[in-house]
Amino acid sequence: MLVQKDRTGDPSLLDLAKAYIKRHFSKPGNVYLGLVHRLDRPVSGVIVFARTSKAAARLSEQFREGRVEKIYQAVVEGEIADRGELEDRIIRSGSSSYVGKGDAGQLARLSFQRLKSSSNSSLVEINLGTGRHHQIRVQLSNLGYPIVGDFRYGSKTKYKEGAIALHARSLSITHPTLKEKMTFTSEPDDSWDKLF
């Protein structure tokens, strides 16, 4: 599902959340929800909205400064190493990205750990160090392990229509006013079990 509207006119999570708040809290007029980060359309998982513009500004600053802990899970094609750290330079080109050579592109860092595997796929947990366009998708594909269903970046395995096997499992932020650490989690759906 789209996080926010685009030119397709498809329903967006932002619009659905605003409608829910309006209905659930009997809010008159327009409802404010600040979008402080995004997920690619085919990715599932945790997303956080801000209820006030001040909270949105403070949360956006945490994302910009890299103070947010983002943990993803993915099912990749092949049997990936037990663990690893990737550091590449990613170049964005239109609606896609690729790993550049030398100093070209933006620095992209992630670490991963294999949780389980079969002869043709692996479940990995990814700790995202930076947040570049399609970063996880590009870096894992460049390593030779595309995400299941991600045909744009080399997958040969079909998954659910309009989705890839990449899930934002956990997001940790600091509350914008209380300054307490908050962690939001979401588990991938049961369809992942069929990939092993």
What pLDDT is recorded for position 196? 74
**Residues, the chain:** 196
- Return the sign of the alpha-carbon dihedral for residues 83, 100, 43, 160: negative
What pLDDT is recorded for position 180? 98
* Catalytic positions, written as ranges: 40
What pLDDT is recorded for position 10? 78
Residues of the chain with pLDDT under 50: none
Domains of the chain are: 68-195 (3.30.2350.10)
Tokens of 122: 């692996």
CB 114 within 8 A of CB 84: no
Q: How far is CA 188 from CA 113, 123, 164, in A?
A: 17, 11, 11
Tell which residue, 66, 181, 193, has the closest CA to residue 135. 66
Which residues are within 8 A (CB) of 164 and not within 5 positions of it... i.e. 6 or more apart?
42, 43, 137, 147, 148, 149, 150, 155
